[in-house]
Amino acid sequence: MKQKTLLFGALGMLVVLILFMVKDLFLSSPEPGNNPWKYDLETMKQADTMKPAYTMVKAIPSGLQGLVAIATGPGDRIYTTGAGGAEIYDSACRLLLRFDFEDTAYALTVDSTGNLWMSMGDHVEVWNKTGKKLQTLKSAGRGSLITSLALTGSSLLIADAGLKVVYHYDHMGNMINRIGEKDPVRKVPGFVIPGPWFDLAVSPDGSLWIANPGRHELEQYRFDGQRLLSWGKPGIGIPEFCGCCNPSHFTFLPDGSFVTSEKGIERIKVYNPRGKFSAVVALPGDFDEGTRGLDLATDSRGRILVVDPVRKQIRIFVKRSTTSNN
Amino acid sequence: MKYKAALLLLLLLFFHGFSVKAIQRFPRPEFETAYSQPETLLPQARAEVMEVVDVVVLALSLSLVSWLVLKKRSRKGVFWMSLFSLAYFGFYREGCVCSIGSIQNIALALFDRNYILPLTAVVFFILPLVFALFFGRTFCAGVCPFGALQDMVSFYPQKTGPKLNGLLGMVPYLYLGFAILYAATGTDFIICRYDPFVGIFRMNASFGMFLFGGLLLITGIFLARPYCRFLCPYGVLLNWASRLSHRHLTITADECIRCRLCEDSCPYDAIDLPLTDKSPETRSSRIRKMAWIVVLIPALTFLGAGTGFLLHTTFAGVNNKVILAKQLATPANQQIKPEPFSVTAFRTSGKSVESVNLEAREVIRRFKTGALALGGFIGLVFGLVIARRMTGRWHDDYLPDKGHCFSCARCIDYCPVKTKLPKNTP
Ligand code: SF4
């Protein structure tokens, strides 16, 4: 008797479950109201509760119309460019020089003599530290938009977000080779660049790293175009890169650690030289909503300099333990 | 054997044609307008190498379990393997990719050219069937995490009897038919929608999903493996394949001595008892039965097909395009308030009502054929089940019912004949 009760109880439960499935499939009507797929950035921003290991020690207001790019040069001088001009500050953040030009500079790097190499959209111009144009390199072609530059002893590396490729030039502007074009034979996946954010940098040990924002990765290449390594994962978690295409910018600390910045959820983070997350520099609460284009630079003291185009400031972050030294 | 191998090769080649290597998703452009695009969140892709690992683990597990069942005849070994599979395919791989759900990937790939069928899904679909074709349902015995989880809670299994088994045993056929219909029409993956255990494996699901899985496990305390026996659509395919297996598990290692010790050993009612006292049938009675079967099977098939055809709009009512078209056609005073998100999304899309109606009509047209085939299939299955009951085959041994036996090897432990005796032993 008891066994029968157990059996029929179990069978009854099974039948109820089957009926539930049938009802849910055929008889339920759509739920009224809210968007069940709403992508709520706000809650995600609030979820970033990790305490930053860095703190902001200075915010230098820039006199430039639109602030776009930043670099550091000899003597830890700070160089910035943007719409219609460039500025040079000394390491104590005192303005040394401001000069004007007509175009907008989209990218900037500084050579060992303090000359500024700037992207004017589709071509590169070299200006000296007194504000005189020295050289104009050939245009990369129609549709080109140069968003990042880096110099080594004999090479100029150019990241072209428009044509989705990196050019390897000599200092005279002669092209040596192209890097990162899709090539299944060499296992190069190609760059996925949905927006005007495409950065590259040369690490302190001289290796070339290029952001592949659509893949949420940083990729290491040899100068001949051979792809070597990559790291980075998509995701909303702090160690990952969020959104459709990040990181938007990156640079290196003197010890070879990566500093990255993201848009969408504005975050600046540090990863060790092997690409393992190590610290938070700044979180969405540190920026105005919708801030994009957080270009980065570092100096010999390990300070992180960030361009904030919305507040029109150069913001300087230092590690909390070293705050007193700055 | 040769025929099976050729069939298998053909199947593999056929499905391989559908598989295309996954490619990087195409990112959306960022236009220079005031519209700011919401950022998308991507699930982390599983590394390709890990997918290969999954396939290798599946193949090795199937081989090991088949060996444990057929060569070692070891229930203990099968038990430990099922624990491993529960840990790996269940909790570590979080129940995905699973062979059960892969039915839908295959169905969708067959009917939608644009669907990219993952190679892993193909292998997870085919490999257990291939093993069933040769060795019986060894996948169910020790590789399927769903089966393993239910086995862990099967403390007081009760006998259900052939009638209830037969009746409830029809549900998986219906489930399979609907799963294929809805996958093939791009409507829904209902096997995943009503997956009872994935929430438990992932430790993350809605309350309803947990409740569904929890209640099914409670049912499983008294009704061994309720999902496998009375719901699993993949079990239908394994059942068919296993019926053809030559090297299926046997309860006894040698001749059955009809000691009846194994009679109650199977918690799944999957042992065919001897049909010894069957009085020989007269010729006229056999002819009468055959005539019935010849009439019954086509009649039930046509009846099923007709019923399916009549119900095609009801079945199509699950499709989102049809639901939207219905909502738009509902008079304003009878509409759901506040309006469902699908309606809001339609209004902001700039699409016309006419285009939605056109799409819905196309879906319903596809359901006409689909529901007809589904109904016919169910009718045919009914007919075959009845025919099988009418023509029980005579045998005087205790035999595992090849279709329903999960090859769990429990009954082996009950059999006193443990080894094959040499020929000519008195
Ligand atoms: S192996 Fe034996 S106990 Fe297990 S399902 Fe088959 S018949 Fe039942």
* Mutate-to-test residue for ligand 1 from B74, B250, B263, B411, highest number of ligand atoms within 8 A of CB: B411
How far is B154 from B223, CA to CA, in rounded Å? 7
CA atoms within 13 A on the CB side of A263: 28
For the purposes of burial, counting CB atoms within 10 Å of the CB of B334, is it exposed (0-12), middle (13-18) or buried (19 or more)? exposed
Q: Give the number of the atom of ligand 1 that is nearest the alpha carbon of residue B265.
A: 3
Nearest beta carbon to residue A242 from set B39, B194, B223: B39
- Contact of A226 with A210, CB cutoff 8 Å: no
* pLDDT at position B15: 42
Strand segments, DSSP code E, in A205-253 are 208-212, 217-221, 227-231, 249-252
- Contact of A266 with A309, CB cutoff 8 Å: no
The CA–CA distances, whole Å, from A60 to A90, A314, A323, B161 equal 12, 5, 17, 83
How far is B254 from A112, CA to CA, in rounded Å? 88
* Residue A230 φ/ψ region, left for φ over 0, alpha for ψ in the -120 to 50 degree band, beta for the rest: beta
Cβ-defined contact of A30 to B323 (cutoff 8 Å): yes
List chain B residues with CB under 8 Å of A245: 27, 30
- Answer whether residue A37 is part of any domain: no
Distance B143 CA to ligand 1 centre (A): 15
- Contact of B67 with B135, CB cutoff 8 Å: no
- Answer whether residue A184 is part of any domain: yes
Q: Which residue CA neighbors atom 8 of ligand 1 most closely? A: B266
The CA–CA distances, whole Å, from B193 to A47, B108, B211, B238, B279 equal 29, 16, 14, 22, 49
The residue behind tokens 């699973």 is B98
How far is B67 from B78, CA to CA, in rounded Å? 10
- Answer whether residue A163 is part of any domain: yes
Give the H/E segment covering residue A67.
strand A67-72
B42 pLDDT above the threshold of 70: no
**From the CA of A240, how many Å to the nearest CA of chain B?**
10
* pLDDT at position B349: 82
* pLDDT at position B27: 44
Query: What is the number of structural domains in chain A?
Result: 1
How far is A22 from B190, CA to CA, in rounded Å? 11
* Mutate-to-test residue for ligand 1 from B268, B272, B402, highest number of ligand atoms within 8 A of CB: B268
* pLDDT at position A83: 92
- Answer whether residue A326 is part of any domain: no
B19 band by pLDDT with thresholds 50, 70 and 90:
very low
Mutation site, A2, A22, A25, A147, interface B, largest B CB count within 10 A: A25
The CA–CA distances, whole Å, from B318 to B60, B324, B354 equal 40, 10, 20
List chain A residues with CB under 8 Å of B32: none
B11 band by pLDDT with thresholds 50, 70 and 90:
very low
Which residue numbers in chain A have pLDDT < 50?
A: 324-326
The CA–CA distances, whole Å, from B418 to B263, B401, B409 equal 16, 20, 13
How wide is the angle at C-alpha B195 spanned by C-alphas B143 and B176, nearest 5°? 85
* pLDDT at position A238: 87
CATH code (residue A142): 2.120.10.30
Which of B257, B296, B274, B244 is closest to B399 using CA atoms?
A: B274
Cβ-defined contact of B336 to A36 (cutoff 8 Å): no
Cβ-defined contact of A14 to B168 (cutoff 8 Å): yes
B35 pLDDT above the threshold of 70: no
* pLDDT at position B283: 84
Distance B409 CA to ligand 1 centre (A): 6
Q: Which residue CA neighbors atom 2 of ligand 1 most closely? A: B411
How far is B333 from B339, CA to CA, in rounded Å? 12
B249 lines ligand 1 (CB under 6 A): yes
B410 lines ligand 1 (CB under 6 A): yes
Cα radius of gyration rounded to whole Å, chain A: 25
How far is A119 from B140, CA to CA, in rounded Å? 64
Distance B188 CA to ligand 1 centre (A): 34
* Average of per-residue pLDDT across B40-54: 69
The rounded Cα B423 to chain-centroid distance in angstroms is 42
- Answer whether residue A34 is part of any domain: no
How far is A126 from A138, CA to CA, in rounded Å? 12
Cβ-defined contact of B158 to A10 (cutoff 8 Å): yes
Cβ-defined contact of B338 to A33 (cutoff 8 Å): yes
B96 band by pLDDT with thresholds 50, 70 and 90:
confident
**Edge-to-edge strands, sheet with A107-110:** A107-110, A116-119, A124-127, A133-136
**What are the pLDDT digits (tens) for B290-317?**
999 999 999 999 999 999 999 999 999 9
Cβ-defined contact of B24 to A214 (cutoff 8 Å): yes
B268 lines ligand 1 (CB under 6 A): yes
Give the H/E segment covering residue B387.
helix B353-390
Q: Is the dihedral of CA B412, B413, B417, B420 positive or negative?
A: positive
Distance B401 CA to ligand 1 centre (A): 8
The CA–CA distances, whole Å, from B203 to A37, B1, B219, B255 equal 21, 44, 20, 48
B266 lines ligand 1 (CB under 6 A): yes
Distance B212 CA to ligand 1 centre (A): 27
- Contact of B408 with B229, CB cutoff 8 Å: no
* pLDDT at position B310: 96
Q: Between chain A and chain B, how many beta carbons pairs sit less than 8 Å apart?
A: 113
* Mutate-to-test residue for ligand 1 from B397, B406, B412, highest number of ligand atoms within 8 A of CB: B406
Give the domain extent around A303: 49-321
- The amino acid at B198: V
- Contact of A258 with A247, CB cutoff 8 Å: no
**Ranges B169-173, B176-180, B261-265: which has the least confidence:** B261-265
- The amino acid at B41: L
- Answer whether residue A82 is part of any domain: yes
How far is A128 from B149, CA to CA, in rounded Å? 72
How wide is the angle at C-alpha A239 spanned by C-alphas A233 and A243, nearest 5°? 55
How far is B341 from A229, CA to CA, in rounded Å? 44
How wide is the angle at C-alpha A268 spanned by C-alphas A305 and A165, nearest 5°? 85
Distance A280 CA to ligand 1 centre (A): 58
What angle do the packed helices B99-111 and B119-135 form, to 10 degrees?
A: 120
Residues facing residue A271 across a β-bridge: A258, A277
ipTM > 0.85 for the complex: no
How many residues belong to chain B? 426
- Answer whether residue A58 is part of any domain: yes
What angle do the packed helices B233-243 and B99-111 form, to 10 degrees?
A: 90
- Answer whether residue A303 is part of any domain: yes
Contacts of B207 (CB under 8 A, 6+ apart): none
Q: How far apart are the two ends of chain B, measured CA to CA in Å?
A: 34
Q: Give the number of the atom of ligand 1 that is nearest the alpha carbon of residue B409.
A: 1
- Contact of B175 with B189, CB cutoff 8 Å: no
Q: What are phi and psi of B100, to 5 degrees?
A: -65, -50
Contacts of A37 (CB under 8 A, 6+ apart): B341
B117 lines ligand 1 (CB under 6 A): no
B254 band by pLDDT with thresholds 50, 70 and 90:
confident
B206 pLDDT above the threshold of 90: no
Which of B194, B46, B60 is closest to B119 using CA atoms?
A: B46
Q: Which residue CA neighbors atom 7 of ligand 1 most closely? A: B400
Nearest beta carbon to residue A30 from set B30, B212, B336: B336
**What are the pLDDT digits (tens) for B267-290?**
999 998 887 655 667 888 889 989
Portion of chain B with pLDDT greater than 90, in percent: 61
* Average of per-residue pLDDT across B158-187: 93
Return the structure tokens found at A244. Answer: 């459709």
Four-point Cα dihedral A237, B44, B181, B322, nearest 10: 40
